[in-house]
Copies of this chain bind each other. A is one copy, B any other.
């Protein structure tokens, strides 16, 4: 499984690196680049979310873009500071789930876990839609097909992850660096202009700004604030991955965290300044970022560079969910809260289930949102804030428990953060309830309930299995092997040889369908069996009704009932052609019999595959 968020180098599924040395681990700089992807990418939809809300109050509303952004930047500062403390307190990483489990009890831990699961899923959906929005801003013609584009991109990412190929964290450094520098260039250049160079991309698009300039109410500002907070997603990534850093891990991680905060904050503020400066009007079908690029750098190569950098970064950030979710699920599985499958490392089949599940849910979300980022962003924000809040409340508990030097200050800091994010969560939920937030309100408790149900189920299973206690010693029983046969061939003799080796007694069973032609075939078969004389009794079953599996299963049941002390085994021979398409030619008799015997008896089922 790809384990991006907890290992320096994720690797193809099916293998895992022999324990890697320090030099493979991350420094503050590489760590920043490798782990800040999601946070940076959120710059692409964060400011947009603010502007769109404010646009509801017309041009005057848009005037409040900067203040709202500054508030968000302040919250960012608080978050970064408090995550610095999380890093110090939990050098083993793990994030909200770990913190909550440690200080707030299992139930809260599960709430945190559920919110994280939702985040991973929503991150895929949001990143994909935002990425496609960046694309359609360049090629407006594609706007009509954005849902299909989203699904296509999702399919692509899924395909890559199915093949188990996950780029090493290092591979993220370049695009992240390109994106960051591009944004800063945009801001720098923009600050030297008094009016937009170009508005080409926005031209001919319907403005979404309300004409009737209503008064700008506090609620509107709160909504804008809450939506904009989506820009803060990903701030926690570094704290989750402390073990990936080079020693002194904590210090390096903390530096990276602060750098992340600084860069993200500057980008947000810078962009919002430009938005005000250029009196930018959000329009349908063109992202705010695209308009800013236009206005600051003109509708030229630079514009395209920014759009494509954005798109690629967003695609990669969607990809990180495919790395992160399995890690979380593994933790949950180890605590018996998720199917143990997820704890089964390094197996492609299993890995695939996770990837496909994530893809399916994300696809559903994409369809639900019609490929529109701004429907998804609020839902995303809710999950993120729930996580933030829980983590920080946990930290408060942590400090109170330790009562170390200046614990009050630290506790206060985390407490303040918790309050802010908690309020934000409530606002987003309340203000966006009808527009999709209800989905989260339902999904979160549902997930928690599921986690607990799974835990209980495992408890029952373990007691049934008598796990932990010494089971009674195994003993040898008389073994009877039953072999379904329908014709004489190498396969038959191969099967009987295997059966003779496995059983004290062997019986061959043939089923004769209740129609004349088959009766004839059956008699002929019996004759040739006598001629062959393999020294194995041939039991001929002649049911009244058609069917292959049921009669055999019934016979097996009867035998098992008649000879209690005996262990009955059904050995099913199957010819396996070498070419794959030829497998389609196999009469599924084997599968049918196995299915029936499995469902209706307790016999052991052996399948002998005879390669052709």
Task: Give residues in A with beta carbon < 8 Å to B.
Answer: 14-16, 18-19, 339-341, 343-347, 349-350, 454, 457-458, 461, 464-468, 470-479, 487-503, 513-515, 528, 531-536, 544-549, 567, 569, 571, 575, 577, 582, 584-589, 591-592, 595, 598, 602, 604-609, 611-612
Cβ A15 vs Cβ B514 within 8 A: no
Copies in the complex: 2
Task: Determine if A461 and B612 form an interchain contact, defined as CB atoms under 8 angstroms apart.
Answer: yes
Q: Which of B18, B350, B532, B607 contacts A514 (CB 8 A)?
A: B18
Q: Is the CB of B498 within 8 A of A604?
A: yes
- The answer to whether B592 and A349 touch across the interface, beta carbons within 8 angstroms, is yes
The residue in chain B whose Cβ has the minimal distance to the Cβ of A471 is: B493
Structural contact, A347 and B548, CB atoms closer than 8 A: yes
**Partner of A611 from B15, B488, B498, B602 at Cβ < 8 Å:** B602
Q: Are A493 and B472 in contact (CB under 8 A)?
A: yes
Name which residue of chain B comes closest to A517, CB basis. Answer: B334
Residue of B nearest to A477 (CB): B501
CB of A339 within 8 A of CB of B607, answer no
Bound complex: CA of A465 vs CA of B587, how far in Å? 14
Chain B residue at smallest Cβ distance from A502: B502
In the assembled complex, how far is the CB of residue A435 from the closest CB belonging to chain B, in whole angstroms?
Answer: 25
Which B residues are in CB contact (< 8 Å) with A16? Answer: 514, 545-546
One of B473, B532, B589 near A473 (C-beta < 8 A): B532
Q: Are A344 and B589 in contact (CB under 8 A)?
A: yes
A-B contact pairs, 25 of them (CB 8 A): A344-B592, A346-B546, A347-B547, A457-B582, A461-B585, A464-B575, A465-B612, A466-B490, A467-B489, A471-B488, A471-B490, A471-B493, A471-B532, A472-B493, A473-B535, A474-B496, A474-B500, A475-B497, A502-B569, A502-B604, A602-B609, A602-B611, A604-B608, A606-B607, A607-B607
Q: Are B592 and A474 in contact (CB under 8 A)?
A: no
CA gap between A556 and B502 in the complex, in Å: 17
A255 CB → nearest B CB, Å: 29
Which chain B residues lie closer than 8 Å to A339 at the CB level? 584-587
Interface centre among A595, A609, A611 (most CB of B within 10 A): A609
The chain B residue with its CB closest to the CB of A467 is B489
- The minimal Cβ–Cβ distance linking A205 to chain B, given in whole angstroms, is 27
